[in-house]
Structure 1
């Protein structure tokens, strides 16, 4: 699912929960969507961390 659609659906369910409440099926869907979002966030964050290069490491490689 597209991240924008995922967030929109999570927000929609959240608003509904605050006003009229959610059915058991909707609660389950919301929990699954939240888990998908968190997994996606963690994966993207890990990719960003993996691309970080430390300046100290590069300086040591140049001088040695």
Structure 2
């Protein structure tokens, strides 16, 4: 599901839960949507971290070696 629609549906179910409660089916849907949202968030965050490069005040790259290794495996780095 598209991220914005996913977020909107989660919020709709959350509001309904506070106002009048959810049916068992709606509660299961809410849990599944939240898991999907978190999975998408984690993938996006991991991608951002894997693409980053860190430089100190002198302009020297100080990207953590673990991130550099991941970048090498993905073909994003030549060194």
TM-score range, shorter chain: 0.7 to 0.9
List structure 1 segments (4+ residues) > 3 angstroms apart after TM superposition.
none
Aligned match of 1:17: 17
TM-score by length of 1: 0.85
Gaps of 5+ in 2: 63-79
TM-score by length of 2: 0.69
Q: Distance in 2 between matches of 1:28 and 1:17?
A: 12
1:42 CA drift (Å):
0.3
1:22 CA drift (Å):
0.2
Which of structures 1 and 2 has the larger relative contact order (alpha carbons within 8 angstroms, sep 6+)? 1
Aligned match of 2:34: 34
Aligned pairs, number: 58
The structure where helix makes up a greater share of residues is 1
Q: Distance in 2 between matches of 1:27 and 1:48?
A: 32
Gaps of 5+ in 1: 59-64
Q: Distance in 2 between matches of 1:5 and 1:57?
A: 39
When the two chains are superposed, the root-mean-square deviation of aligned CA atoms in Å is 1.2
